[in-house]
């Protein structure tokens, strides 16, 4: 091509470029954009304005991100407390649905069964079946980026019960200490929040009364451990026992939440009303 400009107002050129964009590997697209932006400040501004924005702390971040709750893409500049609809509880097998259709030698919770019989599973946060619309409205929440020695860490699952997959807090020994009953609006607060463990009065439960973290906390060891075996390149899961034994809040024993990357003692990153105890039965019994 000898022309120094490309006219995208013509249908043919536009279609050719759109097709090329859809077929080009992501890494090559990224490299091409960066090379163009470094060559021409006007190109840089176009992509900067389109792809970069300020978050709540005025940090420069990607404008478009993927929500860890609903797995959908979202624009952080239009993200509000009603943007995301999701289920915060566990997916549970409705055993009565499967009693006459279950092979005792095979698993129930399979991809095939979830697709063929979504009514055989329910969410223990609301009692609704697998394919129902989410029961909780919140802001979209981006995936956290945790770093260790300037390297990005991938979030890893923990066996510890967390806010995202909580069991009934009142039945746990490892959860928050039982809150004392207190009167709210002249009535006893006698329902325990599934997320934070506090007692609350259902009649005065507001939309932003509770804040909690939906994944586990990890202790990031950046210095030498007490036994001298840590080389500064390890992660360990946070444990309550460790916290009682070691109140050291120094940078050498930083604790971060895997959901948002905030420090352990900061407030929760998910803001909601207080959440009711988990449901042991579906709202409507299903039959195959």
- Give 200's Cβ-side CA count (13 Å radius): 21
Does an H or E element contain 241, and which?
helix 240-245
Does an H or E element contain 90, and which?
none
- Give 202's Cβ-side CA count (13 Å radius): 7
Left (φ > 0), alpha (ψ -120 to 50) or beta: where does 261 sit? Answer: left
Do the beta carbons of residue 129 and residue 118 sit within 8 Å?
yes
Instruction: Examine the pLDDT at 146 and tell me if it is beyond 70.
Output: no
Q: How far apart are CA 262 and CA 70, in angstroms?
A: 21
What pLDDT shows up at residue 268? 86
Q: Please give the full DSSP string across 152-192, using - where no structure is assigned.
A: EEPP---SS--SSS---GGG-SSSSPPPPP-EETTEE--EE
Could you tell me how many residues make up the chain? 288
Which one, of 195, 201, 159, 190, lies nearest residue 175 by Cα? 195
Q: How far apart are CA 275 and CA 270, in angstroms?
A: 12
Mean pLDDT of 195-209: 88
The pTM of the whole model exceeds 0.85: no
Q: How far apart are CA 172 and CA 195, in angstroms?
A: 13
Residue scoring higher pLDDT (2 or 180): 2
Instruction: Examine the pLDDT at 235 and tell me if it is beyond 70.
Output: no
pLDDT in tens, 115-143: 999 999 999 999 999 999 999 999 999 88
Confidence of residue 153 (pLDDT cuts 50, 70, 90): low
pLDDT in tens, 238-276: 334 444 444 455 554 567 787 887 776 767 889 999 999
CA terminus-to-terminus distance, the chain: 63
């Amino acid at each position: 091509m000898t022309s120094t400009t490309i006219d995208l107002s013509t249908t043919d050129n536009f279609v050719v470029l759109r097709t090329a964009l859809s077929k080009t590997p992501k890494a090559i697209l990224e490299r091409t954009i960066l090379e163009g932006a470094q060559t021409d400040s006007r190109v840089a501004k176009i992509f900067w304005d389109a792809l970069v924005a300020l978050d709540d702390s005025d940090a420069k971040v990607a404008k478009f991100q993927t929500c860890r709750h609903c797995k959908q893409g979202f624009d952080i500049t239009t993200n509000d407390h009603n943007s995301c609809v999701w289920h915060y509880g566990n997916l549970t097998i409705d055993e009565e649905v499967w009693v006459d259709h279950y092979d005792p030698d095979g698993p129930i919770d399979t991809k095939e069964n979830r697709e063929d019989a979504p009514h055989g599973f329910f969410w223990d946060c609301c009692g609704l079946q697998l394919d129902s619309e989410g029961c909780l409205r919140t802001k979209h929440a981006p995936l956290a980026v945790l770093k260790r020695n300037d390297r990005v860490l991938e979030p890893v699952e923990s066996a510890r019960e967390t806010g995202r997959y909580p069991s009934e807090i009142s039945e746990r020994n490892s959860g928050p200490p039982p809150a004392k009953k207190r009167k709210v609006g002249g009535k006893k607060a006698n329902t325990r929040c599934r997320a934070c463990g506090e007692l609350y009065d259902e009649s005065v439960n507001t939309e932003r009364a509770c804040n909690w973290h939906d994944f586990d906390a990890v202790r990031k060891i950046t210095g030498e451990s007490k036994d001298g075996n840590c080389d500064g390149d390890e992660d360990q899961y946070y444990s309550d026992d460790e916290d009682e034994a070691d109140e050291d809040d120094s940078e050498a024993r930083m604790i971060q939440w895997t959901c948002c990357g905030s420090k352990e003692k900061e407030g929760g990153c998910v803001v909601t009303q207080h959440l009711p105890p988990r449901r042991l039965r579906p709202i409507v019994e299903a039959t195959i």
